[in-house]
Structure 1
Amino acid sequence: MNGAPDPDHTPWSYLSAQVLHHLLFAVRGQQFLRRRAGLGGRRWPVFGVPGPGVALTVDDGPDPEWTPQVLDLLARHRIRATFFLIGARVREHPELARRILTEGHVVGNHSMWHPQPFAALSPARVRAEIVETQRAVEDVTGAVPRLFRAPGGNWSPKVLRATSELGLLPVDWTVNPSDWRSPGVDRITRRLSRSRPGHVLLCHDGGGDRSQTVTALATVLPRLLDRGLRFVVPADDGG
């Protein structure tokens, strides 16, 4: 789901977006190794959460096959998660977007069409992707997202500026099992099991076969709970 071509998409903007994409790998690696990942703000993405908790974030849904399985698993362990939803999929599966909220989870904005590289889009297209998703989620659920995650985590000053101007908090991650690649249940499980207090975990419930993710989470979630970790929401203010 990459959306329509952007008319202001130049070779230079594409190249700079790709450079930023690779630089962010190093930033995330540094955040993972820090004693406490950065809490971010309006002009810098959230990489961590305060206190002894971890945050489970789930991207690219809602999906009619995998989202219900993830939700059932979360309900079984009484875990609250954040779902970064794609606007077009919210319109396709409104009942799932409503179920996510009804079951106590938080919904975030993950753009309307998930175009990549996101930072290569024109400022107008970046803003439109975010605004259209805000409308889609509000139309379907009555809730207005407060969190935004750039597709592919492709941040730039332009993207962060639009996020801030629209009153959203940018959220990245510290633990990435690359489950979207379907690397195998064991690899996803090992990576997620390395989570420590303050980390933001990245998983996916849309965009492909997510059976490996669901199977891995069935092992990882009780394992993390047994270690005394609790699951929180990025920038949770108790609301």
Structure 2
Amino acid sequence: MKKILFFVLLSTLSLSNAQINFGVEDKDFSKGNIGNIHTGHNEIILTFDDGPVPGVTDKVLDILSEHNIKATFFVIGNNVKANPKLMKRMVDEGHIIGNHSMSHIALQHLDPLTWKDIVNREILDAHSVITPYLVNNKHFYFRAPYAAWDKSFAEFLNENEIGKQYIGPILWDIGGELEVKDGKYLQAADWECWSKKISIDDCMSGYLYEATKRKGGVILMHDLRHQSAELLAKMIPELEDRGFTFSTMNDVNWK
């Protein structure tokens, strides 16, 4: 069940941040990550994690602009602070911004004495950093680094007006892992492709196979390495040739 992530307001948030309200209905937070997000519609939702990264994110933006496609960027707070021009370009070109934590630590096996401080810092500090760039969003979106999550975090972060508007933790439908059987790529993940020196074409075949099997969905990619931008440039026309259209996180029915 797709449910809404509740966050506590960080005491240092500015008044302007606190006034942002998307009017999302309160719901119980899912005990785990939200998956099976948008399959079966023959639509693709492109998402990019871990940026922005100069020299890569701008290439991704060039490709998206060429094809008039909007994507969702799950950004790292520290990278956002270091790259305001890239963030402004994302917003100016109509893309959606998601919260992917402040420093990309795994939110699991945390010290019982300090985990609340860590969750506050990683999620709420990141929210304050990305707030100026959320103008294209219908909701606030959160994806946990490494998909690491615990229901106690939701129980801790559950009674705030800004927090109520967060949807997440959001997973993906396509691109989460690499699977090869009898030489055929049944799934692919860009980061794993590059770490194992798999070619762009072979990596793309895994994405395309999974997208076709699921009849679309949320694709996970990373704007960290130039190979991912090259993969995107080749994959968009292939997806279009297969009859897929493109939508964004704003188009998902989260109820």
Q: Could you say which residue in structure 2 is the equivalent of 1:54?
A: 44
Structure 1: distance between partners of 2:43 and 2:204:
19
Work out the CA distance in 2 between the residues paired with 1:175 and 1:54. 9
What's 1:169 paired with? 167
Q: 1:148 & 1:191 partners in 2: Cα distance?
A: 26
Gaps of 5+ in 2: 5-28, 176-187
Residues 61, 162 of structure 1: alpha-carbon distance in 2 compared, 3 angstrom cutoff:
farther
| CA separation of 1:55 and 1:224: change in aligned 2, threshold 3 A | same
TM-score normalized by structure 2?
0.69
- Say which of 180, 190, 205 aligns to 2:191: 180
Supply the distance in 1 between the matched residues of 2:83 and 2:190 (Cα, whole angstroms). Answer: 22
> Structure 1 residue 217 and structure 2 residue 232: aligned?
yes
Determine which structure has the larger helix proportion and give its number: 1
Larger Rg: 2
1:152 is paired with a residue whose SS is: helix
Tell me the CA shift for residue 237 of structure 1: 6.7
Q: 1:231 to 1:160 in 2, by over 3 A?
A: farther
Aligned to 2:185: none
Q: Distance in 1 between matches of 2:102 and 2:85?
A: 17
> Do the aligned residues in 2 keep the contact of 1:58 with 1:202 (CA within 8 Å)?
yes
Partner Cα separation in structure 2 for residue 162 and residue 47 of structure 1? 25
Distance in 2 between residues matched to 1:162 and 1:63, nearest whole Å: 32
CA distance in 2, matches of 1:47, 1:91: 32
1:57–1:226 CA distance, 2 compared to 1 (3 A): same
CA distances 1:9-34 after superposition (whole Å, capped 9, x unpaired)? xxxxxxxxxxxxxxxxxxxxxxxxxx
Shift of 1:71: 0.5
Write the distance in 2 (CA, Å) between the matches of 1:142 and 1:186: 34
1:1-150 matches, cutoff 5 A: 40-42=2-4, 43-44=29-30, 45-49=34-38, 51-116=41-106, 118-121=107-110, 122-139=115-132, 141=133, 143=135, 146-150=140-144
The change in CA–CA distance for 1:73 and 1:162 in structure 2 (over 3 A counts) is: farther
Tell me the alpha carbon deviations over residues 164-220 of structure 1, each in whole angstroms, 9 at most, x when there is no partner.
6523111101212322231421332112112143421100003xxx12211211111
Matched, 1:157 2:151: yes
- Alpha carbons of 1:123 and 1:46: their partners in 2 closer, same or farther (altered >3 Å)? farther
Is 1:193 aligned with 2:204? no
Match of 2:243, as an amino acid? G
Query: Aligned partners of 1:161, 1:97: CA distance in 2, in Å?
Result: 31
Distance in 2 between the 1:53 and 1:154 partners?
Answer: 27
SS of equivalent to 1:54: strand
TM-score (norm: length of structure 1): 0.74
CA distance in 2, matches of 1:106, 1:169: 13
Q: CA deviation at 1:46?
A: 4.2
Q: Distance in 1 between matches of 2:97 and 2:153?
A: 19
Instruction: Count how many residue pairs are aligned between Structure 1 and Structure 2.
Output: 195
Matched, 1:204 2:203: no
Q: Give the 3 Å change call, closer, same or farther, for CA 161–219 of structure 1 in structure 2.
A: farther
CA distance in 2, matches of 1:114, 1:218: 26
CA distance in 2, matches of 1:78, 1:65: 20
Query: 1:156 Cα deviation (Å)?
Result: 2.1
Moved more, 66-75 or 187-196: 187-196
> Which deviates further from its counterpart, 188-197 or 42-51?
42-51
Q: Which amino acid aligns with 2:244?
A: L
- Quote the offset at 1:162 in angstroms: 5.4
